[in-house]
């Protein structure tokens, strides 16, 4: 995208309809907060500057957005009090600079695609000097949206907020999404002219396209073909709806990369998960952000992989197995009823059913290392910190304490686990 673009993200609202103490834009969607998805949208435009307008929960929202932006600095502006979208951009005017264009996004609209934003910018640019680009949609239920009012020839006239609509205007199917691409100079000139003479007593950004028409400047609209992109999140139910859409996108990306997802309807994979080609994901599996899965692995059914988990090539984890901050080496297996916590397992190792790595002593998490070619018998409990060297075998139900002092290739049984007596006696003889 050409330079000369400033993006303003509006994220100051309280989100009272979420009925949560958490700021609305920090509610999680597929492993990251809502605002992080919008920061990604902004970065897709290769903007010279990204301005974040915050209000409620500013001390939390700003850092979360900056984390999503990575090395790209955000300019954070506080809107207090919150007197509408127009007021939010007025507050941010000093941080906008003097760009060629200004794109306005919303911290609670996570589903907009980069391609749609690029289309909006291209349309505004093509419309000529001083033009305004307005993103519109025709959702199944237009309630809550401002309506696009057009003239007899279909030309754009203005946007009317729903609370200010006449009965005839409420019947209009085309709605305003609040996403705009403004000419930079025109925006800075028009912002002071906004009025709060409306039903809400607020300064509406929606008045600016109407001003452009009055002044004889072009207004171009881009109608979203996929109305799901238009969805804003104002309630917990809408958050759940957005998750379904975003989850489908994530699964599609993995399947396009050669991952076999047997039942997408019962598979949950968060943002940022890496999965190699040829991996088979079975039903009822949940994979969190921060997980890396190699090629040719098998995951599931009923598997829970938490952040920090690494499955190397051809590793297998099965039903009712949970992994957290653990590595399972190439060709290793943990197929049944197992908890792998803070564990590094080598290659070609078998973790038997019901195995638990007891990593927490009530105060601190501890790590365990398991070598290559280890056979861990069913029901084994490994008390961390610990080391199971190469080729070790544990018997069913063994409790391997920190003092076991295991040696490579030996077998350990019992509670607490000790080296198998028969082997010890044979060596002494």
Residues designated as active site: 336
- If DSSP codes are grouped into helix, strand and coil, which group holds residue 260? strand
C-beta separation of 396 from 372 below 8 A: no
Closest CA relative to residue 251, chosen from 232, 275, 215, 223 = 275
- Dist. CA 121–CA 104, nearest whole Å: 11
- Dist. CA 308–CA 327, nearest whole Å: 8
Q: Take residue 30 and report the two structure tokens written for it.
A: 């597929």
């Amino acid at each position: 995208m050409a330079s000369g673009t400033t993006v303003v993200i509006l994220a100051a609202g309280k989100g009272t309809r979420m009925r949560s103490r958490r700021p609305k834009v920090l509610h999680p969607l597929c492993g990251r907060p809502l605002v992080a998805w919008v920061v990604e949208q902004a970065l897709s435009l290769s903007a010279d500057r990204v301005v974040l307008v915050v209000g409620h929960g500013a001390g939390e929202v700003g850092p979360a957005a900056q984390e999503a932006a990575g090395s790209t600095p955000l300019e954070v502006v506080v809107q207090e009090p919150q007197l509408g979208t127009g007021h939010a951009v007025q507050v941010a005017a000093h941080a906008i600079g003097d760009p060629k264009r200004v794109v306005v996004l919303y911290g609670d609209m996570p589903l907009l695609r980069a391609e749609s934003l690029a289309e909006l910018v291209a349309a505004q640019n093509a419309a000529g000097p001083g033009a305004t680009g307005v993103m519109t949609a025709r959702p199944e239920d237009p309630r809550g949206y401002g309506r696009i009012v057009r003239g007899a020839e279909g030309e754009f006239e203005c946007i009317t907020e729903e609370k200010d609509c006449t009965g005839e205007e409420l019947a209009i199917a085309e709605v305003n999404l609040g996403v705009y691409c403004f000419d930079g100079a025109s925006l800075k000139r028009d912002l002071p002219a906004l009025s709060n003479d409306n039903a809400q007593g607020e300064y509406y950004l929606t008045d600016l396209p109407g001003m452009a028409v009055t002044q004889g400047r072009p207004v171009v609209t881009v109608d979203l073909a996929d109305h799901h992109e238009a969805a804003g999140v104002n309630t917990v139910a809408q958050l759940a709806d957005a998750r379904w859409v975003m989850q489908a996108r994530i699964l599609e990306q993995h399947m396009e990369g050669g991952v076999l997802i047997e039942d997408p309807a019962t598979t949950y994979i968060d943002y940022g998960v890496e999965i190699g080609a040829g991996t088979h994901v079975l039903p009822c599996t949940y994979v969190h952000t921060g997980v890396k899965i190699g090629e040719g692995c098998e995951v599931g059914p009923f598997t829970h992989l938490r952040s920090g988990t690494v499955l190397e090539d051809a590793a297998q984890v099965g039903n009712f197995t949970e992994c957290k901050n653990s590595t399972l080496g190439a060709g290793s297996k943990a197929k049944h009823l197992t908890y792998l916590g803070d564990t590094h397992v080598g290659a070609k190792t078998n973790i038997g059913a019901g195995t638990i790595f007891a990593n927490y002593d009530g105060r601190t998490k501890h790590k365990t290392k398991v070598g290559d070619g280890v056979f861990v018998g069913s029901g084994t409990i490994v008390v961390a910190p610990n080391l199971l060297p190469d080729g070790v075998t544990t018997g069913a139900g063994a409790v391997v304490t920190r003092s076991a002092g295991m040696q490579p290739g030996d077998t350990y049984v019992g509670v607490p686990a000790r080296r198998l007596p028969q082997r010890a006696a044979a060596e002494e003889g």
